[in-house]
Amino acid sequence: MEHVAQALLKFAGHEMPGPVSGTRVIQVIGEYRVARVRERRGATVLYEVISTQNQTPLILELGPVRSDDTESTLQRQRELVQRIEDHPNVLKIHEIGIHEGRRYTVTDFVEARTLEDLLAEGPLPVRRAAEIARDVARALSFCHTYGVVHRGARPDLILIDDTTGKALLTSVGRAPEVAEEGGGPTALVSRGLLFSTLFYFAPEQVNDAIGTIDGQTDTYVLGVTLYELLTGRRPFTGNGPRALLAAVMTGEPRSPASLNHQVDADMAAICLKAISVEKHKRYLTAKEFESDLIRWLDGQPVKARSRNAFFALARRMNRRARIGVKRLIKLLARGLTGGKRA
């Protein structure tokens, strides 16, 4: 990374627009010297920076302070970030802090695009979608070992490394701004959450009566992302937030195979299992989700399909049993009436 650091240092003395008004020059944020603006996302600015302590090139995200950014919350997040070990599918966070009333997060320097950017070009090849979902499921499983529920494995928080092609889960240690209290669609809408994030809400995030927010919430959100990778659309839609959240709670998504004929029955079963409204029908853990994706990639039978096939067979057997009982009752009735039709 030394050549990257040297290249960035050449920019360090240049003036650049500030993150808010465009008139103020930001050259230093904490211990980080700003090299240049990398990207702007609304009120948030991504900078390429150099650590003044060890000359390491890093990325610094500077954005608005959230309502829950209390000192105690930030301290817990800092402690968590320090505890989390390196993982090949997690974008490492080095520091979280406040600079002049704005929150900053410092991460590894990577050349990457968001999955959201890739999706703008249309659905991904099925195998590539499975590989990305596998990487993210692996990252989520790693997070769960630390007791971290991410709650936001959606396309804008997943990076695809330009060099390696691997997926990187971002914002680990800093949960996305989602509601934990439930309270129904009206309560969520009134909190002013971005409409675009609601597409990736699990039912239990809408109504906590369904269950607690836990690792299965993460598998659901990743399942929604996988659905979008396969089909180019989200499984649930609605004209406005309330209609969307109602669809999340009660809707039956179309099979991805019906929207993209390149998606086989096994992959469709994996995806639909992950986004089941009823938690007990989902993958119990992110590890289970990852394992089924690996089975599909290796050409092996997937558990999601076998489970669905089992229940389908059971339903058929139950139906046949009911029909058999009805026929038996009719035969008995005929016997009692001398064989005459009622």
Q: In Å, how far from its chain's centre is CA 204?
A: 15
CATH of span 2-108: 3.30.200.20
CATH architecture of 112-301: Orthogonal Bundle (1.10)
Q: What is the length of the chain?
A: 342
Residue where the block lists tokens 């046949």: 320
Q: Where are the domains of the chain?
A: 2-108, 112-301
The residue type of 102 is R
Q: What is the pLDDT of residue 268?
A: 97
Report pLDDT digits (tens) over 93-129: 998 888 888 889 999 999 999 999 999 999 999 999 9
Q: What is the pLDDT of residue 173?
A: 67
User: Residue 90 carries which DSSP code?
Assistant: B
Q: What percent of the chain has pLDDT over 90?
A: 51
Comparing C-alpha atoms, which of 88, 219, 221, 209 is closest to residue 144?
A: 219
Which helix (H) or strand (E) element contains residue 312? helix 303-336
Cβ burial of 238 (10 Å; 0-12, 13-18, 19+) is middle
Through-space distance between the first and last CA atoms of the chain, rounded to whole angstroms: 88
Q: Helix 303-336 crosses helix 265-274 at what angle (to 10 degrees)? A: 90
Q: In Å, how far from its chain's centre is CA 191?
A: 21
Instruction: Give the number of other CB atoms < 10 A from CB of residue 326.
Output: 10
Report pLDDT digits (tens) over 6-37: 444 333 333 333 433 343 556 888 899 999 99
Report pLDDT digits (tens) over 221-233: 999 999 999 999 9
Which alpha helices (DSSP H) does 104-202 contain, by range? 115-119, 126-144, 184-190, 195-198
